[in-house]
Amino acid sequence: MRADTPAPHTGAVSEWVLHVDLDQFIAAVEVARRPELRGRPVIVGGNGDPAERAVVATASYEAREFGVDSGMPLRLAVKRCPDAVFLPVDGPAYQEVSDHVMARLREFPVVVEVLGWDEAFLGVTADDPEALAEDVRRGIEEETGLSSSVGIGDNKLRAKLATGFAKPAGIYRLTQENWWDVMAERPTDALWGIGRKTAKKLAEAGYTTVLELAAADPDALAARFGPRLGPWYRLLAGGIGEREVSATPYVARSRGRETTFQQDLTDSAAIVAEIARLAERVAQDVAEEGRPAARVAVKVRFAPFFTHSHSVTLPEPSSDPAVLAAAAQDVLARFTLGKPVRLLGVRAEFPRA
């Protein structure tokens, strides 16, 4: 039996959340700049050199057919798709195109909440959301030449998930009416907010599908996964999510810098120097943000691929470069640096509002 299945809607629904996602955005921008690449596998990441230590920022659909996906090391990507065209990441170019897209979205009678370069939520009042979604897709293509997909939902969670069913270049509606038909038997990592690691832990606890998770005892989930996360997982499984779309500008929770080394660092003095350099750059970012930092965190990735992080709360929020640098070195001292280091990162976290 399905637990807590919401009662179906009665009557017309006029308030919707649309999730707009630009298809293979970064790769699409690069192909638009280089039309001769259309139809070829394109992989964007790092400096565009597949021999370097960097990860895939995005891959065209042609490259994805070879099993290449975002976050994959470039060295693995070139093994899977040796004939791909590898290109460097060009952040300013992507930001410029994104700005054009978001400006076009704001011309519609909607509330726009930007999520990143390539996606946004739209708050919509409409009797025919599919018609509006098609107008949005057409407007984006006319403005930039880019393809997009639109998910329609009665909250943000369902709209976001609907986009996955809409891709590529489509429209899909996921609401309380069809939630169980679409989602009940899917694995828990089909939910927005549950990744593979969490899904594995849920499976170990006996919850392998969305329906099983929705039917779980909230007290049992809280005991196993914590009083906040456990019940939240159950809400996700029921399709319960936030409805409000806010046009409030995005406010960063932290500013960070990290470096992946082409050759592992083994000398402790070099590691200390690199943390100092990263902390200096982060301090500049904090100054530009105009807000003091409350915590400083350090991330260390040891060879071959084991990542650990520690953080410290500052006695009081600060933008002082010396304070941030000292905190970073204090956090670094908590690590045992006996193994080669392939990545270092420093992050300053701002106080929560």
Catalytic residues: 119
Angle in degrees, CA 220, 221, 227, rounded to 5:
105
Place of tokens 């895939």: 56
Residue 151 CA to residue 130 CA, distance in Å, equals 9
Residue 87 CA to residue 185 CA, distance in Å, equals 39
Work out the end-to-end distance of the chain between its first and last CA atoms, rounded to an integer number of angstroms. Answer: 41
**And the tokens for 337?**
């640096």
Residue 85 CA to residue 40 CA, distance in Å, equals 8
DSSP bridge pairs for 15 = 125
Task: Give the number of other Cβ atoms within 10 Å of residue 3's Cβ.
Answer: 15
Backbone torsion region of residue 149, taken as left when φ is above 0, otherwise alpha when ψ lies between -120 and 50, otherwise beta: beta
Place of tokens 């609907």: 162
Task: Give the number of other Cβ atoms within 10 Å of residue 31's Cβ.
Answer: 22
Overall size of the chain counted in residues? 353
- Phi, psi at residue 135, to the nearest 5°? -65, -40
Helix (H) or strand (E) holding 164: helix 156-166
Q: Widest CA span of the chain, in angstroms?
A: 69
Residue 350 CA to residue 353 CA, distance in Å, equals 9
